[in-house]
Amino acid sequence: MTRRKSFARGPATFKRERSRIQSSGKAFLIVTEGGKTEPNYLKALRARLQLAATDVEIVHPEGTDPITLTNRAIELRDEQKNEAARNLMKVAYDEVWVIFDLEKPHDERRNLAKQAKSLKGAEGILFATSDPCFEFWLLLHEKYTTAPFTDCNQVTRKLKRYWKDYEKGQSPSKEFLDKIPTAVTNAQLCREYHKTSGGDGNPSTKVDFIVRSLNVATRPHFQFKLD
C-alpha cells in the first residue's frame, strides 16, 4: 500500500522515501577545504543532530583553493543528479555547500573566492566562508569579538584561552557543541557589525548558515534552539 501510494505521488517522491529511513528528507553535500578540522567538526555535529551519513556527505577533495573546491562540488552534484535519474535508491542533493577560509586580508585567495562563485555550473552552490579561518567560528562558541585578526595562528591562540588543549583536527566535545546557539548568535552579530561599521569582514564567518540548515533538517527533539 505504501509503495503504491509513493508511486502515485511520482518517482521523485518515491526515491526520497525509499532512501531516507528515519531521516529528515533532505540530502546534503559538504565540500571542505580542511582535511580534519572542518570534517571532524561537521561529523560531530551530524552525530549530535542524529542525521545519517548518507544524508549529510562530507568530502575533502585534493586541492584546497576555492576554485578547485567549487569545481569538485559541481562535479559531485551533477554525478549524483545523473545517478538519481537512473537509480530509484539515489536522490539528488538538496543543498551543496563549499566551506573554505579567506585567510589573510587582501590576499589573492579573496579573488579566487569571487571567481569560484562565478564559475559555470556554480549556480545554486552555497558557500560558508570564514575570515580569516574556520577557527573563528569555533571561537564564537566561547566569545563574541569583532577585533581583526592578521592570520589563523592569531585566532587559534585566542581560541586556546577557552579550549586549552585545542589542536587542528580535534573533534569538539558534546559540551562544546552545546554552545552552538551562542556561536550562531555571535556570527550574526559580527556580520551586522561590519554592515554598520563599514568593516572589511575581518573577522566574520558564514558557517552558521550551514549549521542552521542542518539543524532544520533533523527531527524537532534533536534541534538546537536558535534565534
> Where is 56: in which H helix or E strand?
strand 56-59
CA angle 204, 146, 151 (to 5 degrees): 65
For the record, the C-alpha cell of 23 comes out as 531521516
Residue given cell 501510494 in the structure block: 5
Residue numbers of the chain with a pLDDT score lower than 50: 1-21
CA angle 89, 91, 96 (to 5 degrees): 150
Residue-level pLDDT at 23? 55
| DSSP code at position 20 | -
Residue-level pLDDT at 91? 94
Residue-level pLDDT at 18? 40
CA angle 157, 161, 164 (to 5 degrees): 95
> 142: closest CA among 131, 129, 158?
158
Per residue in 34-84, pLDDT (tens digit) is 999 999 999 999 999 999 999 999 999 999 999 999 999 999 999 999 999
